[in-house]
Amino acid sequence: MLGRLAKRRQEYELHPHDWDFRDPTPRRSQARFHSRSSDDFPTVPAPLIFRDVAIPYSLAHSSTAPPTFRQYPAPGHVASHLLLIECFYTFKADIEQNATLEDAFNALHGTQLRQNSGTWPQYLLVAIKRFKLWITKIEAIIRHSAVFNRFGTGSHLHGAFNENYLPPLDVLFIWYCYLQSPASYERLIASNDFRLLGTICFPWHVFPTAIDQATLDYKPSPAAKTLWEKLVGVPFDLEACLGVELESGTTAFTTHEADILELAVVQTELLERCHRHRWLRSPALHGTIARAMQRYSDAVLSTQPQTPWRTQQIPMVGDSETRSTHSLQLDLVAQLVLNTHRAYHGAWTAFARTYNIRDEDRPPPPSYEESHGKSVDKGDDLQISVSHDKCYCWICERIKDELEEKVVSPRMTALRQTPSQDDTDLKQSETFSDSSSDTDEPAPHLGLSRKQIKRIKAEIRIYRNAEVLREEKIQQQRDSG
């Protein structure tokens, strides 16, 4: 018994990355795990996380209030962004594993496929052509009110694409990539007089229903597919377009396809980095988003003169050479918020001009765990000694939740969808030890009590098991399909 107590005492002195997450009652729990369905686990992500995903008025910001208090981006928009990132990642993985598609590209391009590093870049080149066709047609019809979900009232009445006007996922990805380079997107809309496309928001509000949150598959409506084929005149599925000569679209495109491809490659790298963290499936999702938004806000505020924010008037000078501009120094989580912000081009350009922010397309530097080449999605083999406030893995994010009372309450409200089952697992995790270990001694290096650490470990174990079950179910569906 003393040996077991010493082992547990030693574990609470470890860095969180070195914690043991094996189930404390493996035989009983494994049988229970394999007999459980997805209904026995929390709903991940919790629907409540998307509660404020409605699109606000594009100029709903004020130069007298910090960015934190503006309407866009809101946590729901960032959560929808994470959902879309996972959808894009799944989509890319399916493309790269599609042997039929690879054979088709080899037949069309021969050695060019190898020179461009595989199927995905070739797929993107076709997607770019399809995007050009779509964007030259869509501007003319989005003036019709039926295109939009309406938000706001009076002079602030505005719209965003509804689900029946969504393009195919490959085209959506190119549009998304274009929006992440505001200067390129501005040239595109200016040279083609795409006035409405320059003001509307990327349709974050439809993704929670247009994307299957379990399989992460894109599920456009039949009406969206019909509209696409009538509007563009080519099949909705890109594979059906291979070998078909696609019109080049408008001749006013000033960005060469190779430049657009470069934008897409940069965004591909960023979505892969975000996927490694699997924040969408994390028990700390609400807290991660809240902290990301705070880091983004802090980065913006750090560029401003040191005067009281509410009384400061930032000059609006027309000549960019005489105007002092600032670069934002962002890490990956804050970059996620920035990219969400950029996806509302009208709101972003007004914001960047108001706060004198220089647009740069540089990706953020790698995080601590990325720079060490460690797995961050499930905490596997993490043995690095870094402060948990500089790491964004599930473990460290959940610790931050526990240390921040202002985050814990809404997180618990949002994520605890099956409280009876969660409470059962949490109680089991707290009763596996000897009664003599029930004292709530602190772990000084973390600022957490032992009871808090047990709760964190139990919750992460629940969410990991939920993710394993989800992946197993998807694999079974693919094997049987």
Mean pLDDT of 58-86: 74
Using CA atoms, how far apart are residues 455 and 395, in angstroms rounded to an integer? 12
Per-residue confidence band for 480, with pLDDT thresholds at 50, 70 and 90: confident
pLDDT of residue 9: 56
Mean of the per-residue pLDDT values of the chain: 74
Residue ranges per domain, the chain? Answer: 2-42+373-480, 60-305+323-354
How does pLDDT run across 310-348, given as a tens digit for each residue?
333 333 333 334 345 667 778 899 999 999 999 999 889
pLDDT of residue 30: 53
Per-residue confidence band for 191, with pLDDT thresholds at 50, 70 and 90: confident
Residue 150 host element (H or E)? strand 148-151
Mean pLDDT of 298-302: 84
pLDDT of residue 10: 61
Q: Out of 214-228, 274-288, 366-380, 425-439, which region has the weakest mean confidence (pLDDT)?
A: 425-439
pLDDT of residue 210: 97
Mean pLDDT of 411-421: 36
Per-residue confidence band for 161, with pLDDT thresholds at 50, 70 and 90: confident
Give the residue, 139 or 227, on which the prediction is more confident. Answer: 227
Using CA atoms, how far apart are residues 184 and 175, in angstroms rounded to an integer? 11
Report CA torsion sign: 201, 314, 327, 371: negative
Q: Out of 15-24, 215-224, 260-269, 359-368, which region has the weakest mean confidence (pLDDT)?
A: 359-368
Residue 148 host element (H or E)? strand 148-151
Residue bearing tokens 């897409």: 264
Contacts of residue 313, Cβ cutoff 8 Å, sequence gap at least 6 = 63
